[in-house]
Amino acid sequence: MSDSAMSAPMRLADLEAIDVHTHVHFSTRYAQSAEGGARMAEMKEHFRSDVLGMDLPGLAAFYRERRMAAVAFTIDTLGEPSEHAPTNEEIGEVAAEHPDVIIPFGSVHPLRGKGGAAIARRLIESYGMRGFKFHPSVQEFYPNDRTAYPIYEVLAEHGLPALFHTGQNGVGAGTKGGGGIRLKYSNPMFLDDVAVDFPEMPIVMAHPSFPWQDEALAIATHKAQVYIDLSGWSPKYWPPQLVQYANTLLKEKVLFGTDFPLFTPERWLADLEKTDIRDSVKPGIMLHNAARLFGIG
């Protein structure tokens, strides 16, 4: 795709893959400031990576070069917003400038309750959000907490997917006390209640759900509107039962995701070749399952 495609709508024929899990860490305003530019350059040098510290226009250009679309989001917190992070509104506005490659997701802290539902509705109706990201361990809530239900009601009304982090967390990993992150909130079994109570809201369980992989597989096979994204882990380390189900019962419900910039698509795809995922299943994982979920034709 060329830059002339920037104002064109997303078309399945133009895409080779849809990455359903990417993070936008920097606002464009911050990225274009002297302080932000220096910080981004510092990060790239420290981690020896060219992909850290992108704003959303940078992410759009990165994925356009690869003929891929990307679901992009930030994570809402109840405290003071980070100086460098983009807002939901920025993600919606910039995504509208890059509709050929960016699928914008909002983030509303579930414990905002009815107020959060009003925010979610505004983000959908005024900023074109196509789904919402929730992170139980970082946002410190159980997905089946009834406080969050007014937000889910808005998503169900619009038929939009909710993407939930599941399983162990990279945030705080290896530090004393895990940086205060409590893993219990991200047990996928709490999503079974949500799936029952909101059958019109598609649910995506993000990541191989270590140490609860079997629970995630049980929910995804039992609930028609529940999917699994394969982000955050190198494919060569996927649990064997996840590979088995991806090849069989869940072959139409597993989705390509990188957790970018944690993984680049190139790294993820190279490691996929080291797995026993069948060639016949790969087109669904990479593109067609997500295209059906988002109604991309």
Regarding the domain with residue range 3-294, which homologous superfamily does it belong to in the CATH classification? Metal-dependent hydrolases (3.20.20.140)
The pLDDT value recorded for residue 4 is 44
Q: Judge whether 138 and 75 are in contact, CB under 8 Å.
A: yes
What residue ranges do the domains of the chain occupy?
3-294
Q: Judge whether 258 and 22 are in contact, CB under 8 Å.
A: yes
The pLDDT value recorded for residue 6 is 55
φ, ψ for residue 206, nearest 5 deg: -85, 135
Residue 167: count other Cβ atoms within 10 Å of its Cβ.
22
Confidence of residue 222 (pLDDT cuts 50, 70, 90): very high
Q: What is the pLDDT of residues 171-215, one digit of tens each?
A: 778 888 888 989 999 999 999 999 999 999 999 999 999 999 999
The pLDDT value recorded for residue 104 is 98
Q: Judge whether 56 and 95 are in contact, CB under 8 Å.
A: yes
- What mean pLDDT is reported for the chain? 92
Q: Which helix (H) or strand (E) holds 211?
A: none
φ, ψ for residue 126, nearest 5 deg: -105, -20
The pLDDT value recorded for residue 30 is 65
The pLDDT value recorded for residue 157 is 98
